[in-house]
Structure 1
Amino acid sequence: MTAIMIYTNITTVKDFYILGFPGLLPQYYGPVSALLLLTFLAIVFGNGFILVFVAWQRCLHKPTYLIFCHLALTDIAFGFVTLPKIIARYWWNDMVASFGACFTQMYFVHALGAIHSLILLIMAIDRFIAICIPLRYPVLLTNKIVSIVCVMFWIVTFFRMGVVVCHALTLPYCNSNVIAQCYCDRISIVRLACRKDKYIEDVAFGFAMFSLLFPLSFIVCSYFAIIISVLKLSSSEGRYRTLTTCTPQIVITSLYYIPRCFVYLAYFLGFKFPNADIRITVILLYSLLPAAVNPLIYCFKTKDIKEILIKKLKSTKIGIQRSPTKY
C-alpha cells in the first residue's frame, strides 16, 4: 500500500497526519487497534496496581519500592501520551494532530523516555549500595533522599527537553505534513522541516546520547561491581539470595536498554530496516513492551511483593472456604 502524501503550499503547517504503519492494509486496522488497546490497558492497570499496592502496604514504604513507583508512573504517563491517538487512528481513522498537539506529544515522549532512563540509574544505585556497602544503605538511601532525587530528575528533564522542543519550533515547516510513525517524535517532525539546522540536530543528538549513555555507563559499572561482590561471598546460597534481590532490576534495565542500543548502533553503522513498518514495529516494541511487562516482573520477581500477594491470596481462599453456604 502506497503511503498517503499530503502537501501544503504554506510556510507553516497547521496540522500533521499520523500515518502509523504505512503498509498496513485496511482489513487489519481492527486487530491492530485492539492489540494497541490491550497494550494500553495492560500498561495503565498493571502499573496502576503497583502504585496502589505499594501505597496500601506500609511495609513496602522503602526506597526500592518508591523507585518502582516512579518507574510505574513514567510508564503510565508514556502510555497515555502515545497510545490513545494511534488507537483512534486505526479505530476511527482519526489521523489529524494539530501542530501544537504534535509538538506537545513530542515533548512528553522524549521527556518521559529520559526520565525513565534516569529512574533506572537510581535503581542501579539502590542495588549497588544495598549489596556492596549495605551498612551505609540506611544513611545514603532514605525515602526522603530518593523522593528528592527522583523529583529533581523529573523537573530537570522537563526543562531540558523544553529547550529541544523550542529549538525545533524555530524551524519552518512546509510541504509534507505526514508523519510515518505511530506518534510524533523529534526525528519524524524535524525531517518535515523546509530547512535543516545543524545546531538543533547536534543539541538534540547530544541530549539523546546523554540521556542514554550516561545512565547506561553507570548502570553497567554498578552491576559489574555487584557481580564481583557476590562472587566474593563464600556461601553459594548467599550468592544466589543476593543475586535474586537485583534480578528484577536487571531484567527491567535489559528490556529498556538492549533494543534501544541495537537501534542506535544500527543507525550509526548505516543499517536500514527493509521497510518502514519493521522499523516502526521495533520502536513500538522497545517503547511499550517494557511498560506492559514491568508490573509482572515486580510481582513475580520481587520477593516482598510476591510474598505479600501469596499471603493475600491464601487468606482470601481460606475466607471463602470458611464462609457458610446458604441455600
Structure 2
Amino acid sequence: MTNQSDSFEVILVGFPGLPQHLHGLVSAMMFLIYMTSLAANGSVIGLVTLNPRLHQPMYLLIANLAASDVLFDTITLPKLIARYWFGSSTIAFKVCVFQMFWIHHLGSLDSFLLLLMAIDRYVAISQPLRYGAIINNRTVIIACGFCWVFLAPSTKIFHAIEAFKIALCEVNNKINTLYCSHAAIAALSCGDAAHMKQVAFISAMVVLLVPLSLILFSYIMIITVIARSKSSANWQKAFYTCGTHLFLVALYYVLRIFVYIVTNIPVIVIKADVNAVLLFLYSIAPHVGSPFVYFLRTKEIRQTVRKVFQKLKVVISVF
C-alpha cells in the first residue's frame, strides 16, 4: 500500500481482452475518429466565430458545445491512440487525476449547455417578441462563462482532491477502461472505496438528471404554448427550431443515463469489454455525430458552409 501519488503509475488497459492483432486497426480507427471530431467541431467553431450572421445566442451555445467536445476528445483519445499504436500504456497517477477532473468537468458542462439551449428554445417560442430583450449574445456569453469556470468544475475539484487521498496499491494499478474516470480511480484503492463510488454516482445523477428534468419541463411548456395556438404553422416552426436540440439531447443523455444506472445495480454485472464499448458510445461517439446534426438540420450553418465551398471553388479556379 502506498500514498506516493507523485511517483505512482497506472496502466491504461483501453478495451480489455482486445486481441493483439487488432491493436493497429483500433488505433487507426481512434485516430480517424479524433481527426473527424477535430475537423467537424473545429469547423463549427470557425463558422460561428468568423461569420457575423451566426453571432446569435443559439449558435454561440453550439460553438461552446463543440469546443467542449474537442477538449474532451483531446484529453482522452491521443493517449488511447498511443496505447494501441505505440504500446504506451502507462500514465502517471497525477496525470490520471488531471484527466479525470477534465473528463467529468466537460461532461457536466455538456449537460449545462444543453440546458441553456433548452431555455433559449423555450423563450424563442413562448416569448418571440421579447426574445431579444431576454436572451442576447451578452447574456449567453456570461451564462456560458459561468458554466465553464464555476458551475461545471465546482464538484469535480472535490473529487480530484479526494482521489489524491486514496490508498494506492502497487499490485492494483490497472485502469480497465478507456480513460481515467472517477470510478476507475476509485477501483485503484486498496481500502474500501464504496463511499467514494457512491458520492461519484450521486454527483453524476445530479449533473445528468437535474438538467435533463429541466430540459423535459421546458419542452412540456413549449408543447403547451403551441397547443394553445392551434396553428399547424407553429408546430412546423417549433419542430424546425427544436429538432436539432432534441437530437443532441438524445445523443448525449439516453445511453449515458442507461449505463450509469445499470452499472450501479448490484445484481447486474457488465463485462469489462462491454462496459468499455458502451463508454465509447456514450462519451466519444456523440462528439463526432453532433457536428453533422448541426450541418444537416441547421439552415444557417448549411448556407454558410455552401458559401465557403463556393468561395473555395472560385479561388481554386483562379489558380
- TM class, shorter-length: over 0.9
In structure 2, relative to structure 1, the CA distance for the partners of 1:150 and 1:96 (3 Å cut) is: same
The 1-side partners of 2:82 and 2:35 are apart by 15
Matched, 1:140 2:147: no
Aligned to 1:30: 24
Residue 197 of structure 1: how far off its partner (Å): 4.8
2:179 is equivalent to residue 191 of structure 1: no
Aligned counterparts of 2:198 and 2:315: Cα–Cα separation in 1: 62
More moved, 207-216 vs 248-257: 207-216
The residue type equivalent to 2:162 in the other structure is H
Is 1:247–1:301's contact at 8 Å kept on the other side of the alignment?
A: yes
Which TM-score applies when normalising by structure 2? Answer: 0.92
The Cα shift of 1:314 comes to: 5.1
Q: 1:272 to 1:140 in 2, by over 3 A?
A: same
Aligned-partner Cα distance in 1 for 2:300–2:121 = 15
**Structure 1 residue 142: Cα displacement:** 1.0
Question: Per-residue deviation at 1:11?
Answer: 5.1
From the CA coordinates, give the structure whose radius of gyration is larger: 1
Task: State which drifts further: 129-138 or 95-104.
Answer: 129-138
Q: Is 2:238 aligned against 1:253?
A: no
Q: State the Cα distance separating 1:230 from its structure 2 match.
A: 2.8
1:295-314 correspondence to structure 2 within 5 Å:
295-313=291-309
Task: Give the structure 1 partner of residue 283 of structure 2.
Answer: 287
Q: 1:314 to 1:265 in 2, by over 3 A?
A: same
Residues 245, 303 of structure 1: 8 Å contact kept: no
Displacement of 1:185 in angstroms is 0.7
Cα RMSD for the two superposed structures: 2.1
Aligned sequence identity (%):
34
Q: 1:256 to 1:235 in 2, by over 3 A?
A: same
Range moving further from structure 2, 301-310 or 71-80? 301-310
The Cα of 1:311 is off from its aligned counterpart by 4.2
- More deviation, 303-312/185-194: 303-312
Residue of structure 2 equivalent to 1:101: 95
In structure 2, stretches of 5+ residues that fail to align are none
Question: Which residue of the partner structure matches residue 199 of structure 2?
Answer: 203
- Paired with 1:127 and 1:194, the residues of 2 have a C-alpha distance of 48
Matching residue of 1:4 = none
Tell me what 1:90 maps to: 84
Q: How does 1:66-77 map to 2 (within 5 A)?
A: 66-77=60-71
Show the counterpart of 2:160. Answer: 165
Kept in 1, the 8 Å contact 2:187–2:193? The answer is no
Instruction: Give 1:303 shift.
Output: 1.7
Cα distance, 1:313 vs. partner?
4.0
Question: 2:71 matched to 1:46?
Answer: no
**Which moved further from structure 2: 93-102 or 228-237?**
228-237
Query: What amino acid does structure 2 have at the position aligned with 1:114?
Result: S
The one-letter code sitting in structure 2 at the alignment partner of 1:168 is A
1:267-311, CA deviations, whole angstroms, 9 ceiling, x for partnerless residues?
A: 344464552111110111110111111111111101211223334
Aligned length: 315
After the TM superposition, which parts of structure 1 deviate over 6 Å for at least 4 consecutive aligned residues? none
SS of structure 1 residue aligned to 2:10: strand
- Whole-angstrom distance in 2 between the partners of 1:273 and 1:314: 53
Q: What is the distance in 2 between the residues matched to 1:272 and 1:26?
A: 29
**1:227: Cα distance to partner?**
2.4
Structure 2 residue identity aligned to 1:144: R
Question: Aligned partner of 2:164: which letter?
Answer: L
Aligned-residue offset at 1:155: 1.3
Other-structure match for 1:3: none
Contact 2:186–2:196 at 8 Å: present in 1 too? no
Encode CA deviations 1:50-108: one digit per residue, 9 max, x unaligned.
11111111011011111011101100000001000010000000010011111111111
Which secondary structure state, in structure 1, belongs to the residue aligned with residue 284 of structure 2? helix
Structure 2 Cα separation of the partners of residues 126 and 303 of structure 1:
17
The residue type equivalent to 1:186 in the other structure is H
CA contact (8 A) 2:47 2:304 kept: no
**TM-score w.r.t. length of structure 1:** 0.90
The answer to whether the aligner puts 1:62 opposite 2:50 as a matched pair is no
Spell out, residue by residue over 1:216-256, the C-alpha distance to the aligned partner (whole angstroms, 9 max, x if none).
11001111222232333433233113211111111011100
- Contact map agreement 2:57 2:137 (CA 8 A) in 1: yes
